[in-house]
Amino acid sequence: MTISAAEASEQVRRKDIRDRWLLSAPALILIAVAGVGPLLIVVLYSFLAPGNYGDVKWQFSTDAWFSVLFTRDIFDDTLSIADAHLSIFWRSIKLAIATTGLCVAFGFPTAYFIATRPSHNRQIWLFLITIPFWTNMLIRAFAIQEVIRNEGIVNTLLMKLGLIAAPIPMMFSDFAILLGMTYVFLPLMVLPLYASIEKLDFRLIEAAYDLYASRWNVLFRVIVPLVKPGLIAGAILVFIPALSSYVIPRVLGGGKNLMIGNLIELQFGQGRNWPLGASLSVTLVIIVLVAMLYYVKNASKSGGAHG
């Protein structure tokens, strides 16, 4: 039997694709087994009943999802909104937004500064931004803790100078979490912003000045709209890890100032309500996905290719 050239090339193509699947299989399997696959189990668990000593009972139940938002009074069975959960969600969202805002406020000028350096110096400045990013997050949180604790540098210094009589308590507060998250996530804002600002066409700014634009107008009506893709990318890159932050509230927020991540952990520790923990996890993933979709939609609208 003879085969035509077209059939032969089709066979070669098929074999090539099969080989490519075989080559990528180990990575896909590894991620499926020890990465994202177990998320399906989390979804499943969120629809089961809690076991007596942690884990789950194998019976269908929507109680966990119900108690994400509501609590049932144990005496008269009346429903009320689960204030504890909602206030933690709300606090997490507020803190993540505030962190994003602070990162823009500090990161934008920094990225602009780096992008306007002579080109041979830019790499060094970028390197300086990147180093803290690659150092352990726990160590950076610990470094912030050392600076702001009661017997820390700031308080010791202020007391030595006679400006304050007693240390200002800064640890274990929302302020500490906010400071820590801004500190830790700032590079995530600077890097994409830099990529956008570097491509900025400064002739446009010159044109704006020629047309008697004030500095303020140039900044907010020329520069900011032009670097919007970088701004959105940075905001998403900061907002998502800030919202799901676990280590920083644990180290800097103490036991009282929980964020969603800590609330989830509690359900698998002392609270021992695994289905509730699972449904809280799924809720967090949904919020993150919504934020991502918003980003993708905006990125495609502004039509820019960016990282």
Tell which positions 57-86 bind another protein, by CB under 8 A.
none
Residue with tokens 């668990």: 45
Judged by DSSP in three states, 57 sits in: strand
Site string for another protein, 83-122 (x = CB under 8 A): ----------------------xxx-xx-xxx-x------
Q: Which of 20, 57, 94, 301 binds another protein (CB under 8 A)?
A: 20
Q: How far is the CB of 39 from another protein (least distance, A)?
A: 5
Q: Which of 82, 88, 178, 251 binds another protein (CB under 8 A)?
A: 251
Nearer to another protein, 82 or 193 (CB): 193
Nearer to another protein, 35 or 225 (CB): 35
HSE-CB of 101 using CA atoms within 13 angstroms: 7
144 binds another protein (CB under 8 A): yes
Instruction: Give the dihedral of Cα atoms 284, 287, 293, 297; nearest 10 deg.
Output: -150
**Do the Cβ atoms of 235 and 104 come closer than 8 Å?**
yes
Q: How far is the CB of 1 from another protein (least distance, A)?
A: 27
26 binds another protein (CB under 8 A): yes
Q: Which of 81, 86, 164, 292 binds another protein (CB under 8 A)?
A: 292
CB neighbourhood size of 50 (10 A): 23
151 binds another protein (CB under 8 A): yes
Nearer to another protein, 13 or 81 (CB): 13
Nearer to another protein, 81 or 168 (CB): 168
227 binds another protein (CB under 8 A): no
Q: Measure the N-to-C terminal CA separation of the chain; round to a whole number of Å.
A: 52
Q: How far is the CB of 70 from another protein (least distance, A)?
A: 22
Q: How far is CA 86 from CA 33, 248, 263, 280, 283, in A?
A: 33, 20, 11, 11, 12
H-type helices in 35-152, by residue range? 39-45, 63-69, 83-115, 119-134, 137-148
38: nearest Cα among 293, 278, 290, 265: 278
Judged by DSSP in three states, 191 sits in: helix
CB neighbourhood size of 217 (10 A): 13
Q: How far is the CB of 291 from another protein (least distance, A)?
A: 10
The interface region with another protein, picked from 62-70, 77-85, 224-232, 275-283 by CB under 8 A, is 275-283
Nearer to another protein, 82 or 140 (CB): 140
